[in-house]
Amino acid sequence: MKWLNDLFKFFASLKLAIFLIVILGIAFGAGTFIESYHGARAAQALIYRTQWLAVLLALLALNLLASAFDRIPWKKKHIGFLTTHLGIILMLVGALVTQAFGIEGQVQIREGETEGRMTISESLLQVIAVDSDQRWTFSVEQHIFPWTGREKLRSDFATPLNLYLVSDYPKAKREEKVIETKNGSPALHVSLVGSMASMDEWLLLESPERSSVRLGPAAVRYAKDPIQIQEQKTSGTWGTLTFHFESGGSDEIPLSPESIGKTFSIKNSSYRVSVRRILKDAVVNANELVDRSSEWLNPAVQLTLEGENLSERHTVFAKFPEFPTLHGLAPSEAHVRIAYEVSGFSPEAEKNEIRFLNRPNALPEYQVKRGSELKGGKVELNKPVETGWMDFKFTVDRYFKHAALQESYLPLPNTSGHSEAVSVIELELETLDVRKNIWLVQGEMVHVPLKGSDYHVVHGLKTRPLGFQVELKDFMMDTDPGTDRPASFKSLVTLKDPMKGIKRDQLIQMNEPLKYRGFKLYQSAYHLESGQPDISIFTAARDPGNPFKYTGAIIMVLGILALFYMKPFSTLKGSDPKLRSR
């Protein structure tokens, strides 16, 4: 059995150890470069989660074991060596346990809501028959790089239709094309160019979302009806002061030259307002607000708000209602928003508008509204038209009598950080006599009418129960003093386990997870949108491999220390490599 002995010696050899160390190092290094160029998923799929890496690691474990057995009979001096290697083996075992039994997923909870499931990163494709509410589940193996081809998707049960995966883009950007069709909505392509901004856009008459574009204080619209100049609500050129209290009350005070110096009490509140100055063309000169001319160019009011032990001086500009009226300070103590409305100066969208009026069988007409002025004409292709809004000009360069919107997706590199990037697949649905292609964004549902029967197709991620429920009561974010930079995130949650009658509050924050039934819930992300409840996003993880890794790590470090610094337990010979000498 000499060959068996030789084999054993080979597995116990330092040669194999060094070979493995070097190969693993190179592989890991390559992995980090792949991650940098093609994203983390590519690195996982090509290096870190491959079978060959698993084989290499298994070889390493075998090498460690064999080299330990090779030293039988073990003596005291072997202790350092043995503990070090035992530690590494335990850590590898821990990695194996994690791989086999570890779970990681996301839990996304809106403020005030309760969640009992976690989302795991495995794709799931569901087809739902709208009439019968029958469901079929297909499994989709997601590709790492943008892929096109034709792959039949499998389902566990017989399905009324066949599904083929035609494209799979892990990251893609939606592209829209307007194409001329036989019947469809009229469409025109308009560009608006000025020195401060520019835009170009397709407008589709019959599409509710695509018939108009808002551009800050202006709108561009394609419509059937012309603009109606409405009677201005505000009376007189001196405008109106409006007060909106956070508590709900509001009041309007029309101004006139006589208002200056007078004090008005505000309805439904205990506050009074005294108007100090009304400026027609306010400019800051030598750090003071002065009237530059008597033209109505930049109306502003300076006023004092009084009442309830408070006296605040505000400056309100008609053109800039977003300006904090109390200069440089936190919002008013009176919790009021003050606005000065002067006709022609409020930057509401409807005050400035370009409207294209549809005419059957002819190019549209246009109307440009600027404040209360209105002008119009016939659209000529490729001819720029002055809008009168600063230096903006618009040009219509294409017009289709009938057109339709065609969507497609353009694959982006995996590492793209594009804010509109989505993960998308293209499916081909096939029944006996119909075929249809659809684009399906991950996490969205598409309604597909397919000759007589309607389907909903969903491409999402699998979920699994946590075994308990978590309610998000409050999400809190602190910022660094004087900045918007987040300093800390906290979520106040209620943990609920009705089966065990447990209901308790806990604060989850960075480095302080919620621990329950083997799971840990970590604060990992958040989503804030004004007017919407805050969303807090947690990572839920269960890792039974950790005890092995921790013990292994401690044992290994102790082993190295023994090996390096405790002579009786070490086989190392001090510091004494043979020298190449002369």
Partner 1 sequence: MIDQMKNDMRPATSCHCEGSQRMDCPKQSLRSPRPCGARDDGERLLKSRRASFGRGLTIALAISGSILLAAIPSAKAADSLEKAVGRIPVQAGGRTKPFASFAKESVLFVTGKTSFEGEDPTTLVWRWIAQPEIWSAKPILPVTHLRLRKHFESDLVRNRISPVLVLNDLEFKKIVNEAQIKESQEKRISQLEKKQIELYHRARLFEETAHGRMPGFIPHPGDPKISWLPLEALLSREGLEIAQNLYPKSELEQTASSLGLLLDHLRGGDFGQSYLAGERFAQSIEHVLLSRDIFLDQNAMNLEFLYLKLRPFQLAWILYLLSIIIWLAPNRQKKVTWVALALFVAGFAVHSFGFVLRMLIAGRPPVTNMYESIVWVSWGAAFFSLLFWIFFRSNLLPAVAACVATLTLIIAESCPTFLDSSISPLSPVLRSNYWLTIHVLTITLGYGAFLLNWGIAHALLYCLAFRKKRELVEHLTQYLYRSLQVGVILLASGTILGGVWAAESWGRFWGWDPKETWALIAVLAYLAVLHSRTAGWLDAFGVAFWSAVSFLTVLMAWYGVNFVLGAGLHSYGFGGGGLPYVLAFVVTDILAIVWLARRFKTVSPHH
Minimum separation from the CB atom of position 567 to partner 1 (A): 5
Please state, in angstroms and as integers, the Cα–Cα distance from residue 482 to each residue in 21, 211, 325, 486, following that order: 50, 42, 19, 11
Minimum separation from the CB atom of position 327 to partner 1 (A): 5
Q: Cα–Cα–Cα angle for 282, 286, 288, nearest 5°?
A: 45
- Calculate the dihedral angle through the C-alpha atoms of 294, 283, 350, 248, rounding to the nearest 10 degrees: -110
Q: Which is nearer to partner 1, 372 or 488 (CB)?
A: 488
395 Cβ contact partners less than 8 Å away, ≥ 6 residues apart: 190, 191, 193, 382, 383, 384, 385
Q: Buried b / exposed e across 456-482, counting CB within 10 Å, b at 16+?
A: ebbbeeebeebebbbbbeebeeeeeee
Sign, Cα dihedral of 96, 100, 102, 108: positive
Q: Which is nearer to partner 1, 46 or 458 (CB)?
A: 46
Minimum separation from the CB atom of position 524 to partner 1 (A): 7
Q: Which is nearer to partner 1, 441 or 446 (CB)?
A: 441
* Helix residue ranges, H only, 215-302: none
Structure tokens at 486: 């987040």
Nearest to 255 by CA among 271, 272, 237, 270: 237
Minimum separation from the CB atom of position 196 to partner 1 (A): 8
Minimum separation from the CB atom of position 419 to partner 1 (A): 5
Q: Which is nearer to partner 1, 272 or 398 (CB)?
A: 272
Nearest to 472 by CA among 29, 114, 220: 114
CA atoms within a 13 Å half-sphere pointing along the CA-CB vector of 560: 7
Minimum separation from the CB atom of position 100 to partner 1 (A): 15
Q: Which is nearer to partner 1, 24 or 405 (CB)?
A: 24
Distance (Å, whole) CA 356 – CA 376: 9
Q: Is the CB of residue 267 less than 8 Å from the CB of residue 249?
A: yes
Q: Which is nearer to partner 1, 77 or 370 (CB)?
A: 77
Minimum separation from the CB atom of position 403 to partner 1 (A): 27
Sign, Cα dihedral of 392, 398, 403, 405: negative
Q: Which is nearer to partner 1, 268 or 285 (CB)?
A: 285
Minimum separation from the CB atom of position 7 to partner 1 (A): 15
Q: Which is nearer to partner 1, 4 or 14 (CB)?
A: 14
